Amino acid sequence: MPDTLKVALAQISPVWLNKKATIEKIEATLIEASSQQAELVVFGEALLPGYPFWLAYTDGAAWDLPVNKEIHAHYLRNAVQIEEGDLKGICKVARECKMAVYLGIIERAKDRGGHSIYCSLVYINGEGEIKSVHRKLQPTYDERLSWAPGDGNGLVVHRLKDFTVGGLNCWENWMPLPRATLYGQGENLHIAVWPGNENNTKDISRFIARESRSYVISVSSLMRKDNFPSDTPHLEEILKKAPDVLANGGSCIAGPDGEWIHPPLLHKEGLIYAELNFNRVLEERQNFDPAGHYSRPDVTKLIVDRTRQSTVEFKD
């Protein structure tokens, strides 16, 4: 039925900073979701290959500190290079299972020289095609010590059955204008990906749902002290100050009325399933539609630059 969509929220931990092993875990999770007829699977922010937790626990802002340089180099080596085919296996599984995927990655972007990394949200359709790569516009706080700021190229939406789906990374979801960009393109299923923790998801998921009168899926990862692989550079230094739980999950789903379909789930690894009914979007848009009858484009209007930014332009 085109007006119903079965979704799966993949609340899992990465094999931290291990690209190959984390890809294998993602592929296995997709196959498991397929066995339950999921049509859209969503993974957390920066899951592949993991969030830069060390910055908070190793004096991350210290200038020229060997610890930070060496961990950062390890991070880059395990970052995703889409142009080199790093996501081919995941795309193949998506195609074979006929499911769409939103996946949070750390992208080592060759079109920006190949030595800086971006927190990117990748959309793969049911044919296994990468249809958008949204680079986080503004890394948050200590993330700026590791991630570069992105651009507007990935601020797009995708048709999925009757739904129009779009997504943002973590605190981008607090940015009114990127949200408005997606609303203006007809978004009615909003994807918000997070590194983890209920304190990020418990309020804003319902707020965005009420503001947009859309479904909102928030997906977080998990991370515990014992999830750090033994071959992590400077592991003892990281663990010295790290808490037992670094990311407790908090994945959830809010309906177009802002009420919980699935409240935040904590400390449990696995897949969360739900079936969404498109008609609920139409019902809630009756009294409020932020880009339609409850907008005033003659008074306020947003201009968006969606070009992929680069430092060079070649004319051969």
Task: Give how far Cα 3 sits from Cα of 160, 180, 281, Å.
Answer: 10, 24, 10
Q: List residues bridging with 224 in a β-sheet.
A: 245
243 — pLDDT class (breaks 50, 70, 90) = very high
**Mean per-residue pLDDT of the chain:** 97
Q: Quick one: which of 229, 247, 226, 232 has its CA closest to 15? A: 229
Q: What is the pLDDT of residues 81-127, one digit of tens each?
A: 999 999 999 999 999 999 999 999 999 999 999 999 999 999 999 99
User: In which element (H, E) is residue 27 found?
Assistant: helix 19-34
Q: Which of 2-6, 228-232, 267-271 has the lowest mean pLDDT?
A: 228-232
The ranges assigned to domains in the chain are 4-284
* Model confidence at 313: pLDDT above 90: no
Q: What pLDDT sits at residue 87? A: 98
CATH class of 4-284: alpha beta
Catalytic residues: 45, 136, 170
Mean of pLDDT values over 282-292: 97
Cβ neighbors of 158 (< 8 A, separation 6 or more) are 100, 123, 125, 131, 132, 164, 165, 166
Q: What pLDDT sits at residue 4? A: 98
Q: Quick one: which of 222, 228, 207 has its CA closest to 268? A: 222
Q: Which of 51-55, 57-61, 101-105 has the lowest mean pLDDT?
A: 57-61
Task: Give how far Cα 61 sits from Cα of 65, 69, 108, 171, Å.
Answer: 9, 11, 21, 21
Q: What is the pLDDT of residues 1-36, one digit of tens each?
A: 899 999 999 999 999 999 999 999 999 999 999 999
